[in-house]
A and B are shown apart, each in its own frame.
Chain A
Amino acid sequence: MTSIRVTNEALIVMEGVSKSFPQPDGKGEHLVLHQIDLTIRAGEVVALLGRSGSGKSTLLRIMAGLLKPTKGRVLNRGKQLMGTNPDVAIVFQSFALLPWLTVLGNTELGLEAKGIDRQTRHTQALKALDLVGLDGFESAYPRELSGGMKQRVGFARALVMEPLVLFMDEPFSALDVLTKENLRGEVDDLWNAGQFPSSSIVIVTHDIEEAVFLADRVIVLGSNPGHIRGEVLVDLPRSHDRASPRFKALVDHLYTVMTNPEASVTQDLTTTQPKPVTTSIERSPYSQALPHARSGAVSGLLELLVENSHDQVDIYQLAERLQLTVDDLLPILNAADMLGFAEIMQGDIKLTDIGHDFATTTILRSKDLFRQQVLKQVPMLASIEKTLTEKQNGSMRAEFFMNLLDEYFPRAEAEEQFATAVDWGRYAELFEYDASEDRIYLPAISNR
């Protein structure tokens, strides 16, 4: 079956939706989503793909009516949505089962709230449990079940409601690899066989392969604030064959797009890559975000690359091999790229000469290289080092740098930026950080 079931009937429409949350310390607001226009049509499976911080879960919750948009509006079947969306059921990342109810009790949760009588409730719930392969487990408690089984209950609880649109919020990301593969396959089979009681599915994910495998349409979200970068139609017959060259090409394209925030999302998969010509526009060294990767992880990645022939490897394969999600892997790749140890191009990552040197030499020499690269490539750390050397006692309150970061990032992100900067700075032996005094200072001369 192909994606022919897609009709033009719009079920959920978002028009110019923005969402901001108040900052925790009560100062100002933090914009999470900016100007989202999105339509979910009957018969399609839509994947919302983005890295953490792209607001994809927030987007889903706005469509579900769990959150109210700050600006713009949501239409559900042509009517403006007020309160929780009655046509939607959600499968949650952490399953969200009530631990004190049995599998049956959990499955009946929504039916009971509808006021359906006991007998009908039981019959319908048992049917749904049967559909997801949980026959015989109805009197078990969630804690007796494995992760995969729990998520099956999550699916049964959602399906029994026969929602018009089924929402899935990273439904497989808490499962181990084999379970994930198995359950994802079964969900796909159910959908392809037309046994799904819903007419559309929206899935939030950060797993590129999962998005291409399940969805007819992949919406790529960008970060800070979350916005729609573009969409890719998965023009393959269902079920999507992973071995097909087109599948690989789509996955490669999405990897390229995800690793490079500047690249445009296109259907013809040619990545116009405006390789960031480090613009001469004077920008604050504290405005450029560091990828959240620990120095140890970067170093580990380089060691791994050096074992490959040509020092080059396909990112998709790398992710498969390391069993890392995009959110874990991409920051490491970006860090290696930023530090000039590696280059990312067309879904591949390749070691540079310096990177090769770094990975093969002694620890002292590689620390030297790291310092040299950090000072050359990362303005933020260079600036921190410069500030410290200009001070007579070579030390500075951390608050000072936090305030600079606050200008460009929401508080939580600023803290993470700071933590990453400290990690890199420590590894490069540029400066040290005393958490109890909250001060940054130059290392004692004797250590240099």
Chain B
Amino acid sequence: MRPFPSPEALRRFPFGLADIAVILGTLVLLAAIAKVGAGALVSFQPPDDLPTIDLDPRNLPYYAARSTLRMFVAMFFSLVFTFAYGYVAAKNRRAEKVLVPLLDILQSVPVLGFLSITVTGFIALFPGSLLGLEAASVFAIFTGQVWNMTFSFYQSLKTVPSELDEATRIYRLSGWERFTKLEVPASMMGLLWNAMMSFGGGWFFVTESEAITVLNQEFTLPGLGSYVAAAIAAENLPAMGWAVVTIAVVILLCNWLVWQPLVAWADKFRMEQSAAAAAPESRVYDLFKAARLPSLMGQIFAPISEGINQFLARLTPLRQPRPVNLEQQAQGDRIFNWLLLLIVGALLAALLRFILVTVGVAEVLTVFGLGLITLLRVVILMIVATLIWTPIGVAIGFNPQLAALSQPIVQFLASFPANFLFPFATLFFIRTNISIQIGSIFLMALGAQWYILFNSISGAMSIPTDLREMAKGFNLQGWQLWRKVIIPGIFSTWVTGGITAMGGAWNASIVAEIVSWGPTTLTATGLGSYIEEATRLGDWPRITLGIGMMSLFVVGLNHLFWRRLYQLAETKYHL
């Protein structure tokens, strides 16, 4: 019998090169956080005491660090929220009835809408400090990251394999042990995947939230986004170029230092009981594994963590189902349902009052019309992007080497914040006299299209080889091949990509329908520009109306269109 862990491993000289790298890396990281974090606490007294942006490219690393720190702070809060909300929604029957539909709606509210509504509140919360603006920015990123993570966690909790659930119950695991040993690990893969996607999308919001105008007042938060805004105002093209390079480097670094190691680590949380063909790899994670320091620390702290675990386990004993009084339960449900009905009724009354009294029916109809215009843009975008990127995606997906090569590139493109490219496009529109009415479609597509490409590639890769060989054998070509094999094969992944792309396009419309370069501002007619203008003026009723309308469009499309396609994909085109 071999004791665990082997003592000779511990007795060996405890430090190697890997340990030195890990120690140095940790120290550098801590120092950087301290230095950058301090910047968040500087004095801020608008309108006299405002942070200024220096366009000298040498400041870029500092600005990038500020933005990155915000991303990670938001990710931390997203995780906390995810665990709490998802857990309650999955465990409490009554809460579930409210929380899940609410999540569905929150997910459809455009992220920049949250920002417009909350920024003044946050500034008031921390008077005289930049922390208020920081909080508003972090909150905007948070709202961009959190919903799909929460959904994923909730869904994992609901679909824990029944025998694993029974095993934890028969072996009498406490609530805490169940959470740490079964529920969190079981949801880890989905959670990590969604966190990665969210983080990629977050760059767009962090840059957008660092320089916004509310109530005709400009708020500037030092970071990459405000650097870009300043560069636009100064018509400084070289500075723009530097900013693009910086964000690219930052995204790659985050991938390399954070996400790749996490993916490699999380591979052990796969549910399949058999070994994977190719486990994900990461140099940085290998370094961590090679270092002896982490496991040594683990040994030292083991008794402490054991104590904490036992303590928490005692706090959350295994809940035995109490004898349920069906009569009582039914009555409780009735009261609960009445309460819900009452609240929904009150909300509806408030909505009606808002429409009739505050903004007026005419305004609502106008905004609906604007929504239709933006919808038209989104639809054109989806069609054109599909026509262009699906064939390319399929071609890449059918070629395994090309697919392996292109996947990280496409993933990088998807997380690259499109608003960094807006100034270049704007300049192009101004020079070539292209109308922003059409140009804004292109701007919205800059971010959204990659999801279609990305999912077409993975869809094509998932078409079984024997199907493709069959098609070759029967000499299926051109349209025939597409109709019989490719379209059914990639349909379900295309639907997934389509939903993501469309959500991204709606979000982007708020910034894509108004763009500027120096003193020139181009404005397209649409719901996005309506919201942006209302935000600039601080016109609360119109902000609310615009955002509400956009959420309505997104929720409506999801239910009327995407959900049906999903069902079709699940039943008919399931591979």
Which residues of A are interface residues toward B (Cβ below 8 A)?
61, 64, 66, 68, 82-86, 88-90, 92-101, 104, 109-110, 112-115, 118, 122, 126, 130, 135-136, 138-139, 141-144, 150, 157, 161, 436
Contact = CB atoms under 8 A, between A and B. Distances in A.
B216 interface: no
Interface string B161-184: 101101111111110010001100
Contact of A109 (B173, B188, B272): B173
Interface in B539-575: 572
Nearest to A436: B572
Contacts of B47: none
A387 B449 CA distance: 54
Interface string B1-26: 11110000000000000000000000
B313 A115 contact: yes
Contacts of B268: 99-100, 141
A90 B162 CA distance: 13
B321 A99 contact: no
A82 B319 CA distance: 11
Nearest to B184: A100
Contacts of A141: 268
Given A93-B163, A115-B310, A138-B4, A109 B171 contact: yes
A92 B1 contact: no
Q: Determine which residue in B2, B167, B172 has the highest number of CB atoms from chain A within 10 A of its CB, and name it.
A: B167
A99 B182 contact: no
B171 A110 contact: yes
B269 interface: yes
Contacts of B320: 82-84
B171 A161 contact: yes
A92 B572 CA distance: 34
A126 B3 CA distance: 9
B4 A113 contact: no
Nearest to A86: B172
A159 B61 CA distance: 59
B172 A114 contact: yes
Contacts of B172: 84, 86, 110, 113-114
A85 B3 CA distance: 33
Per CB-CB distance, the 6 closest pairs between chain A and chain B, nearest first, are A83-B320, A110-B171, A96-B163, A96-B167, A100-B185, A113-B173
A232 B172 CA distance: 34
Contacts of B3: 122
Interface string B101-128: 0000000000000000000000000000
A83 B572 CA distance: 42
B467 interface: no
A126 B169 contact: no
B166 A66 contact: yes
B271 interface: yes
Given A122-B4, A136-B2, A98 B182 contact: yes
Given A66-B170, A98-B185, A122-B4, A112 B177 contact: yes
Contacts of A97: 273
A90 B310 contact: no
B164 A89 contact: no
13 contacts: A66-B166, A83-B318, A84-B318, A86-B172, A89-B170, A94-B161, A94-B163, A101-B181, A110-B172, A113-B177, A115-B314, A143-B270, A436-B572
Contacts of A84: 169-170, 172, 318, 320
A59 to B, nearest CB: 14
Contacts of A161: 171
Which has the most chain B C-beta neighbours within 10 Å: A112, A115, A138, A141? A112
Contacts of B2: 136, 138
Nearest to A126: B1
Nearest to A82: B320
A96 B4 contact: no
Contacts of A138: 2, 4
* Residue among A61, A88, A96 with max Cβ neighbours from chain B (10 Å): A96
B269 A100 contact: yes
Nearest to A144: B275
Contacts of A88: 170
Given A113-B174, A113-B177, A95 B313 contact: no
B56 interface: no
Interface centre among B169, B323, B572 (most CB of A within 10 A): B169
A86 B168 CA distance: 13
Contacts of A115: 310, 313-314
A90 B167 contact: yes
A238 B275 CA distance: 39
A86 B2 CA distance: 31
B306 interface: yes
Contact of B166 (A86, A90, A118): A90
- Output the residue of B3, B170, B572 with the most chain A CB within 10 A: B170
A26 to B, nearest CB: 14
Given A82-B320, A138-B2, A113 B163 contact: no
A209 B336 CA distance: 54
A112 B314 CA distance: 12
Contacts of A114: 172
Contacts of B269: 99-100
A82 B306 CA distance: 30
B380 to A, nearest CB: 31
Given A83-B321, A99-B269, A122-B4, 14 more contacts: A66-B170, A82-B323, A84-B318, A85-B170, A86-B172, A90-B170, A92-B166, A94-B163, A109-B171, A109-B173, A113-B171, A113-B318, A115-B314, A157-B171
B178 to A, nearest CB: 9
Contacts of A94: 161, 163
Contacts of B318: 83-84, 113
A99 B166 contact: no
Nearest to B3: A122
B274 interface: yes
A110 B271 CA distance: 21
B273 A150 contact: yes
